[in-house]
Amino acid sequence: MEVINSIAELRLRLASRGRIAFVPTMGNLHHGHLALVSLARQHADCVVVSIFVNPLQFGANEDLASYPRSLQADCEGLNQSGADIVFTPSESELYPVPQTVQVEPPPIAFDLCGKHRPVHFRGVCTVVAKLFNIVRPDVAIFGKKDYQQLFILREMVRQLEIPVEMLAGETMREADGLAMSSRNNLLNPAQRMEAPRLQRALQLVVQASRQGRRDFDAIEAQTTQYLTQLGWIVDYIAVRSASTLLTPLPDERQLLVLGAARLGMTRLIDNIEFAL
């Protein structure tokens, strides 16, 4: 496995590598990421993983500085998972001048997480478009834990005709159901005990829906109240159409419940796809 910092060198290395699969990450890798790498391995001759904590996708009041970084451990895990190349550009390599050219995301980018992180998905789209232009992958892999991100990036790829196949990896969970996330490392022991409740709360929403309730507004409000009473600061709990991420039409049956909530300073997200 090679670790490459330079765009020019990466391009040289990739010039004759056959079919390329690409897994963009911000590092501090967990089993969820490594499962994406294993999925990538099945789809290509050459698996490229990028590690770049992208400042563009953090708001001014967000956790860019405290975002966990662990390059050496990341590389060990990637080597074992079958990655061929790890691309670890510095900020000045990827953004040598202020990035004024950006990819404006679709309107759904300003709903859900985007309501609370207004610059986030513009930054995600811009860095992913740029990384796609550098790596030129045949296939790219993203995790379903960041479902809205996956949805928006698929829309970007479709609307800009980016020639890449988008694959989704399932969310990996700890034994107690907590979705694996780099931010889990930021939880103190008490928060870590409480954290799986977000997933359980989403399961309650699925249950209520399956029992025939379509008053999603009320279910969302009840779930928010439940979590709030237990010390969470809830950004949103939302039942949405799986195909549009908008409020479900009366006859829609392929749904998704998404949640974002904070324990102390740490913001967790999770979601469940379900069919009625």
Catalytically active residues are 33
Q: Which residues pair with 234 in a beta bridge?
A: 261
Identity of the residue, 93 or 252, whose beta carbon is nearer to a second copy in the bound complex: 93
Distance CA 43, CA 35 (A): 13
For CA atoms 31, 138, 82, 28, give the dihedral sign.
negative
Binding site residues, a second copy, CB under 8 A: 7, 11, 97, 99-107, 122, 125-126, 129-130, 133-134, 136, 155-156, 158-163
What's the chain's length in residues?
276
Report in angstroms how near the CB of residue 107 gets to a second copy at its nearest.
Answer: 6
Residue 184 CB, nearest distance to a second copy (Å)? 31
Closest distance to a second copy from the beta carbon of 45 (Å): 18
Which DSSP letter does residue 107 get? G
Coil/strand/helix, residue 4: strand
Nearer to a second copy, 159 or 185 (CB): 159
Is 41 within 8 Å of 21 (Cβ atoms)? Answer: yes
- The residues near 57 (Cβ < 8 Å, ≥ 6 apart) are 119, 120, 121, 122, 123, 124, 127
Q: How far is the CB of 42 from a second copy (least distance, A)?
A: 23
The Cβ of residue 175 has, within 10 Å, a number of other Cβ atoms equal to 6
Of 119 and 242, nearer to a second copy (C-beta) is: 119
Buried b (16+ CB within 10 A) or exposed e, 209-241: beeeeeebeebbebbbebbeeeebebbbbbbbe
Rounded to a whole number of angstroms, the minimum distance from the CB of residue 130 to a second copy is 5
Q: What CA dihedral angle connects 113, 118, 123 and 124, to 10 degrees?
A: 10
- Nearer to a second copy by C-beta: 134 or 237? 134
Instruction: Provide the minimum distance between the beta carbon of 102 and a second copy in the complex, in angstroms, as a whole number.
Output: 5
Q: Which is nearer to a second copy, 19 or 213 (CB)?
A: 19
- From CA 69, how far away is CA 164, in angstroms rounded? 28
Look up tokens 């679709």; give the residue.
106
